[in-house]
Amino acid sequence: MGFGELFLLAVGLSMDAFAVSVCKGLALKKIDLKNAGTVGLWFGGFQALMPLIGYFIAALFADSIKAVDHWVAFVLLALIGGNMLREALCGGEEEEADAALSVKAMLPMAIATSIDAMAVGVTFAFTGTYVNIWVSVLFIGVTTC
């Protein structure tokens, strides 16, 4: 994987974290370097950690799930899409902006915004081309941060 491809991938993965960071910044009364660093480290750290987890999990189970991997992807995407439709049709509840930067507030957001990065890690494990996982996850994490 070349630098250009990795850069586009990293920027694409960081978009959801960027959107949540903007909302978090709008909720804060005062934005300073400490708050920005906290948010950046949470999101950047998880964007780097999740592809690594996905890569090693996929490497462990690659042979046993190759035959049904497309069905697993189909079921997961169908569940996510169905949930999105349900929320849209039922008029989901409005959420208040939360300015907290505690572990309880940041951990779920960091995990939620990096689930797609875990899927990228799985893809890295299944790709036929050479991918340096350590350089890739570092680059993704730094780009997101």
How far apart are alpha carbons 78 and 116 in whole angstroms?
15
Of the chain, the percentage scoring pLDDT greater than 70 comes to: 93
What count of other Cβ atoms lies within 10 Å of the Cβ of residue 117? 28
Average pLDDT, the chain: 85
Q: 15, 104 in Cβ contact below 8 A?
A: no
Look at residue 144 and tell me whether its pLDDT is greater than 80: yes
> What burial class does residue 44 get, using C-beta atoms within 10 Å of its C-beta: 0-12 exposed, 13-18 middle, 19+ buried?
buried
CB neighbour list of residue 45: distance below 8 Å, 6 or more residues apart: 110, 141, 145
pLDDT score for 74: 82
Nearest to 143 by CA among 34, 22, 17: 17
Please name the residue that has the structure tokens 């309880």: 104
Residue-level pLDDT at 88? 78
Position with higher pLDDT, 61 vs 51 = 51
The pLDDT > 90 percentage for the chain reads 26
Nearest CA among 88, 93, 114, 94 for reference residue 17: 114
- What local confidence, expressed as pLDDT, does residue 3 receive? 87
pLDDT digits (tens, 9 = 90+) for 21-37: 888 888 888 888 998 89
Higher pLDDT, 48 or 100: 48
> How far is 58 from 108, CA to CA, in rounded Å?
23
What pTM does this model have? 0.77
pLDDT (average), residues 100-128: 85
Tell me the average pLDDT across 89-112: 79
